[in-house]
Amino acid sequence: MPVEEFVAGWISGALGLVMGYPFDTLKVRLQTQNTYRGITDCMAKIYHHESILGFFKGMSFPIASIALVNSILFGVYSNTLQVLTATSHQDQRAQLPSYTHIFIAGCTGGFLQASSVLSNVEALPPAKSESRVQPGSPPPKYRGPVHCAATIFQEEGPRGLFRGSGALMLRDTPTLGFYFVTYEGLCHQYTPAGQQPSSTTVLVAGGFAGIASWVTATPFDVIKARMQMGGVNQRAYKGMLDCIVTSFWQEGLGVFFRGFTINSARAFPVNAVTFLCYEYLLRVWGYSHRPPGCRCPSLPLNSTLFPASSPSFSRSCFPVLSWPSDYSAASQTAAPPSLLLASSAEKRGKGYAWPLDATYYSTLQPGFGLPSASDFKDVPEIEGASEDP
């Protein structure tokens, strides 16, 4: 199972969190307290009473836990998709998997991330929403997320920590399906066949993916926040249905869209940054085998021509092709580049790991003939070549 996606998900999640934390603080307060007149009023009050730090209250714990939760999401998503489509991450670029597969993989990731207790604890709003707005009000009950989780655990046992988890699952499962469908769809739409999406495309697609998933998630987000708070104005709900019905009767339909604007405003930068970082890391780690600008088709990695037992190749070592320095997108269609097998350390530096496949050769080099394992016996192994999953 490839672990790169888990690690990339971890780091990109942490970065996204820092981006989005002030928005989160505002959102939770708006959703669970009735003392604010709107976003600007809430911002002004937080700033006035707690300074800029008020927006980042309690961030140390989520930075670790969100990162972990995001790592589950991306790792599970990507591995599920590989299982469903039997193609690797980079080949999915050449051949977009079906939207049904993307949706199922996204839902699986969403479901598993939501089932981790961490994601519930991380999302516990009491820690974030303790308000010191009223002068002379009693000191906050919780000193931070860890203290908040520990107190809830002591008072109510483990069940307390899972309060709102049903709503959390309903919130995250389908909406993370939409998340990846939007992302992959937009990337595919704006990327020429066979190329990697540009940074701008990734940023925009990631931003809109975030918005798409938050727009659909907001009603359940409100319910989850309220259930985790144990009710607004000290009124605890008997269950999810009770929470929905009571909130609706007391405050109208609009209550389910509280935090909608702020969710969307937050979702764009957070997810743009998350996806950019994720894609970037996977590329830096040599996860993408295609040379920049290459439009060549590719086959699933395991369609390698070389049996794993071949003397020079293991499944984790692909032959290296060196690409002419003037190799550009234009020249690819006109005249196929001569693909030289790197056979020296000097070429090795410029080479790219590239899984040779039959389609590739027959499309670009008619009559070239398929190389046999013996053609590669002098090819050195390259360091940092990516691993065949």
Ligand X SMILES: C[N+](C)(C)CCCC[C@H](N)C(=O)O
> Which of 16, 259 has the CB closer to ligand X?
16
Q: Tell the smallest beta-carbon distance from residue 150 to ligand X (Å).
A: 24
Contact window for ligand X (CB under 6 A) among 46-54, 101-109, 174-182, 352-360:
174-182
Using CB under 6 A, which of the segments 46-54, 86-94, 265-273, 348-356 binds ligand X?
Answer: 265-273
Which lies closer to ligand X via its Cβ, residue 183 or residue 318? 183
Q: Can residue 175 be called a binding residue for ligand X (CB under 6 A)? A: yes
Q: List, in order, residues 6 or more apart from 6 with CB less than 8 Å away.
A: 71, 72, 74, 75
Contacts to ligand X from residues 59-118, by CB under 6 A: 70
Residue from 30, 176, 186, 317 in contact with ligand X (CB under 6 A): 176
Kindly state the DSSP code that residue 59 receives in the 8-state scheme.
-
What tokens does 349 get?
């530096």
Our finding on whether 276 is near ligand X (CB under 6 A) is no
Task: Output 82 or 113, the one with its CB closest to ligand X.
Answer: 113
222 binds ligand X (CB under 6 A): no
Does residue 213 belong to the site contacting ligand X (CB under 6 A)?
A: yes
User: Which residues, in sequence order, are bridge partners of residue 322?
Assistant: 340
**DSSP secondary structure, 99-143, as one string:** HHHHHHHHHHHHHHHHHSHHHHHHT-HHHHH----STTPPPPS-S
Backbone φ and ψ for 341, nearest 5 degrees, come out as -80, 125
For residue 261, CA distances in Å to 30, 84, 141, 315, 358 come to 11, 35, 29, 49, 51
Based on the shown chain and the rule CB under 6 A, indicate whether residue 270 belongs to the binding site for ligand X. Answer: yes
Q: Check residue 267 for interaction with ligand X (CB under 6 A).
A: yes
Region 20-49 residues binding ligand X, contact defined as CB under 6 A? 20
- C-alpha separations of 157 from 154, 162, 217, 232 in Å: 6, 10, 28, 21
Name the segment binding ligand X (CB under 6 A); options: 199-207, 266-274, 341-349, 381-389.
266-274
269 or 297: CB nearest ligand X:
269
- Taking each helix axis from N to C terminus, what angle separates 165-189 and 99-115, rounded to the nearest 10 degrees? 150
CB of 215 to ligand X, least distance (A): 8
Which amino acid, one-letter code, is at 244?
Answer: I
CB of 324 to ligand X, least distance (A): 41
Near ligand X by CB under 6 A, which window of 94-102, 169-177, 197-205, 362-370? 169-177
16 sits near ligand X (criterion: CB under 6 A): yes
The amino acid at residue 221 is D
208 contacts ligand X (rule: CB under 6 A): no
From candidates 27, 57, 128, 171, binder to ligand X by CB under 6 A = 171
Secondary structure E strands in the chain? 320-322, 340-341, 352-353
Return the DSSP state at 234: G
In the list 9, 58, 210, 337, the residue contacting ligand X (rule: CB under 6 A) is 210
Residues 358/304, Cβ–Cβ less than 8 Å = no
How many CA atoms lie within 13 Å of 6's alpha carbon, on the beta-carbon side? 9
What's the closest the beta carbon of residue 140 comes to ligand X, in angstroms? 24
Binding region for ligand X (CB under 6 A):
16, 20, 70, 171-172, 175-176, 179, 210, 213-214, 217, 267, 270-271
